[in-house]
Chains A and B, each alone.
Chain A
């Protein structure tokens, strides 16, 4: 029998592929099922948000940046407002700070619920997706009754928040939070101990902490590797220091730990929200900010802990109504960078699991 001739072949995974979470293209060199080389190609969702922002006034930038990371648009609202407030040195009212924290944490839960569903779906379990979105829907209802939109909020503005919460918000929010806490049992029961889930995720795509730091990975993906680093605590912004919560970390850095860290973060966010609801003061929700917001000349960088890592905005102001330069930083970009490092050598099914567990979304990569 003659020697079997085998050769590597190249597969284009994406831009249209069910598990690339958008329009990411990965050029895979494969040997059968084994992935030998991964080359991510980005830019299919590029909307030139940064350049658009240069042509908009500061308040107008916020709805534009809603589209930057639309799964957690509140963070985008917030980080831009934070940068602008730092430039103009605006004091934000107490109640607005509380509302911001509630909204940010609700949005973090919503994002992690999407992660839960999508990761499960990428690994083949279709039902958790619907369960995750079911609870997320309650959060979206909360957002809609507060600011009128479900996805692109434009709620957190420079100097505070756009509107005060309606009367029915607090009871519904408490209900939502308790429902999520209760449903977490279902989520964990479905996947956490499931032997198939364990073999698919444990020791898959191990991200060593030093590699993670070298590639600029941040957020839950880095905390799963044992790096205890959370901007909410380490670069304090807003009023997170007033609440009793813990930074969720795990030590192995595999897909399973990245999944668990996010479930833990949901629990911590629930705690923060409950404390914030208890301590919500009365008062105005927006500082006096001129409609023609003109920060003084200067530059600043604000960063917040998003559900996908460090979300940052750099603003350079030339003293006019429009920012001279806006630069955004999203966690997904760095996580996509690290994908070839930890995904090479595995099977294509592992690659899908790793991609899902890093929680990469493409609008944040391509801006």
Chain B
């Protein structure tokens, strides 16, 4: 499957589509910013463009990859989420990145939950990990909200990252964990039930 066949994923607030050339400026701005410090950035313009090209090329080479995450209401982009498996990665990763100004609204949770469901239910993945810098508390917190647990026995990319193992497909089928994730997303979508916040550490 190449880029032209990328499926569209719909969630309550989001639409996930294949990345397009005109969406590059938001990607570039994020990877030029401090936000990208745990993802190999900040990058200069050439590096950022080559990485964006690689995000798209990943679909051509692997048949899956990272989606661009849009708001359903306005179509503006808020980040990317999807599968990521470059050379030297021990196993397939579920990854996400949000533009700095879009953090804190539950978009990464909603998008990542949707892409994980797609890979589990449509593509037959039995497991997945997320490789996270141990200093990236925000990402660790999101991984834990998604039900991931630290897998100390699994190989990391380069020894500087922690491996968070996603719950299995079975553990997400009609379970309390699955309902909890759905409920948290629903709370973000309906501000009447806005969560009261969480511990940072």
Q: Do A and B bind each other?
A: no
Residues of A within 8 A of B (CB): none
